[in-house]
Structure 1
Amino acid sequence: MRIPVPAFRLPVSGFFLAALLVALGPGAAAHAATRVAVFDFELLDTSGEFDLRGPKPEEVHRLDLITDEVRHRLTQAGYDVLDLTPQQAQIAEAAPFRNCNNCELPIARALGAEIEVIGLVQKVSNLILNINFQLRDVATGQVLRAGSADIRNNTDESWLRGISYLVRNRLLDPPLTGKAAP
């Protein structure tokens, strides 16, 4: 003999979940993670070997690589890393951010970010590079954290080691507090 499955099965499950959350109290719901806009890292080539057409393809790849690494590490640390696509036209118009006097702040606000991360790689030569970042409170523009790491050698490995150092030792340690905390 088959036992019929009641049609109200899903609503009852939803009801029990809601009742459980109410019973556990207001702290039971997940605390909203801090929303972060991580803008693409930029390259400032002062090496004298720059090309007027822009960064070399391998350096564009490395900029993407370290930007993705920062986004990944912030996500792992509990932050809500925002999709920048809705503001892509404004980002393209304002870039490079190193020349725009905080013009990225209204873009981050429009995305709903609470904090933002901007970064710059300065290429002094093909052997000497410097990775820099700033983390800012979007509401006030105040710099909450900043860091810089000199790296040697223009390779994927050296760029990743540099950004790994910055994330571990400048961006997330000591842990962020206040609005910047996840």
Structure 2
Amino acid sequence: MPKTEEDFFRGVTGPSPEEQNRLALADALLAKLLAADGRYEIVDLASLKDEIAAARPIYDCNGCEVDLAGKVKAELVMTSVMEKISETHLSLTVALVDVANSKLVSTSSVLIQGNTDESWLHGVRWLAKNRLLAEGKGK
């Protein structure tokens, strides 16, 4: 709920602490599901931690995610955006980009109904199973 009249018109900026936690849970689950499938290898980005932090927000860095992925010799870079449409409706969109060619490979999205840990994780499981890991998809 907006706290001030200004928040009502421009929206509350940034995720709440609960949503920050959900982002971490969703990220961990997606990485686990992709790695378990065997078609994707998750690359360790620890060496790029400071560069990634400096580039945030990634969706607004003009393709820097491709350059960063190239530094760790990744073939694909996956980025995601969680858009809060309302308190009970969110949209998760995942994009895969071929690093060598800087070319979009695919985009997938899911509508998440409910702003709870379980609804977010359900959305991630659905997206992984029905889009990212669906037959004919993946590396």
CA distance in 1, matches of 2:76, 2:24: 20
| SS of residue paired to 2:111 | strand
Determine the C-alpha separation between the residues in 1 that align with 2:37 and 2:84. Answer: 29
Count of equivalent residues: 131
CA contact (8 A) 1:136 1:144 kept: yes
Match for residue 153 of structure 1? 114
Structure-2 separation of matches of 1:74 and 1:155: 22
Instruction: Look up the match of 1:71.
Output: 31
Deviations, residues 6-57 of structure 1 (Å, cap 9, x unaligned): xxxxxxxxxxxxxxxxxxxxxxxxxxxxxxxxxxxxxxxx995524xx3211
Percent identity between matched residues is 35
Matches within 5 A, 1:59-98: 59-78=19-38, 79-98=40-59
Letter in 1 for 2:129: R
Q: Which runs of 4+ in 1 moved over 4 A?
A: 46-49
In the alignment, is residue 117 of structure 1 matched against residue 86 of structure 2? no
What's the counterpart of residue 142 of structure 1?
103
Is 1:56 aligned to residue 37 of structure 2? no
Whose Rg is larger? Answer: 1
Partners of 1:47 and 1:164 in 2: how far apart? 33
Runs (5+) with no aligned partner, structure 2: 1-7
What is the match of residue 163 of structure 1? Answer: 124
SS of residue paired to 2:69: helix
Q: Work out the CA distance in 1 between the residues paired with 2:31 and 2:107.
A: 16
* Equivalent residue, structure 2, for 1:4: none
Q: Which runs of 5+ in 1 are unaligned?
A: 1-45
Structure with bigger RCO (C-alpha 8 Å, 6+ apart): 1
Deviation at 1:105, TM superposition (A): 0.5
CA separation in 1, counterparts of 2:27 and 2:117? 12
**TM-score normalised by L of structure 2:** 0.86
Partner amino acid, structure 1, of 2:58: F
- In the TM superposition, residue 112 of structure 1 has moved relative to its aligned partner by 1.2
